[in-house]
Structure 1
Amino acid sequence: MVRRYHSRAVRAGCGACYLIKKPHVRPIVRGKAGKKTEFGAKISISDDNGFVEVDRISWDNYNEANDLIERAERYKEERGYYPARICADAIYMTVANKKFCEDHGIRLSGRARKKETAEAEVQSTEQQELFKSDLRKRSVIEGRIGTSKRKYGLDRIMTKLVATSRTVIGMAFFVMNAEKILRFLRLLFAFFVFVYIAITCLFVPERRAALLGAY
């Protein structure tokens, strides 16, 4: 099992007058070009083999690195075992998280934090290839965040209350997971239709004769 962790800020509605009506919303300094400051909830999400789970939704300033151990323990309660690998952001690469994963046989993969980059050990070619593979898998969660903002409206949460905002955020990821299941069912249906047509063509005498005559 592969579990990927990430966290992002979800912007709320814009406009000073609109934000005054939402006292729970605080500014989040992101330092991005064009978006130095965002307003809204801070969410931590994880991707478990293609399905997104919302681990925390909060308007407070919290350190999302503390969510990893709790989420790994919850994963064990649900499945009976720890995940084999966790691909996470650099912020999750803390000493406590690394020790926890090492003690429980979990491979914690992610870029080292800036202050630890210079102290990073020299990796072999196999380790570098494995690290690149983990980075590609972790990039999936980046895509989930972008899709949720572009397609599911998380770039602009217009609800005013904390409870309704939580509902909107939760429903966005629920619909995202539901559409993934729907795509799988479509592929499964197409496969059964293909098998049915193949069996019909091979075992119906008239069609079988027609097929042999064609050759």
Structure 2
Amino acid sequence: MKDHLTVVKHPLVQHKLTMMRKHDTTTGEFRRLLREISQLLAYEVTGELPMTTRRITTPMEEMDAPVLAGRKLALVSILRAGNGLLDGMLELIPSARVGFVGLYRDEETLRPVQYYFKVPTELGERLVITVDPMLATGNSSVAAIDLLKEAGARNLRFLCLLAAPEGVARMKEAHPDVPIVTAALDERLNEKGYIVPGLGDAGDRMYGTK
């Protein structure tokens, strides 16, 4: 991918995102919309996967048909909210390998604290797509990419639902080689580090917690 930031303007993405932003959208509807929008965003973030051909037989004749090349890609969820994007993407890419990075944000410092890390083998030979609905301060995202690079990942992309300018700038400074795909670039962060206008806490809205 050439651009560091890609904002997906597809009408279905934008419509579903608006429904997710509404404060009175139910937990069940929020999860459904997130699963649907994740598949549309997955279409964008996987648009340049390497291809090869395989000899197959159709009901009519043999042909050399296009198939994905190389190692199966890896999807890495930043827990817990990343699982909402992960679930939808796995429906589209069921053969993907899956990893998890457990990070929570210290509410005083806004810095990430790691509590879990489990990823597929041979990351250096895979496209690694890291998913988290919100790119806010960028601290958790940068920390997750740091860990993945330490584990050998070289070809990385970051997929989120919403991004703040501060988070995009932080990622570009720390990891300029990692393209970001998002459904919207919002205005700013508030004093508590939440995206504005945003949609609230994605994890709480997804799981019905406070």
What TM-score do you get using the length of structure 2 for normalisation? 0.29
Greater share of residues in strand? 2
Greater share of residues in helix? 1
Larger Rg: 1
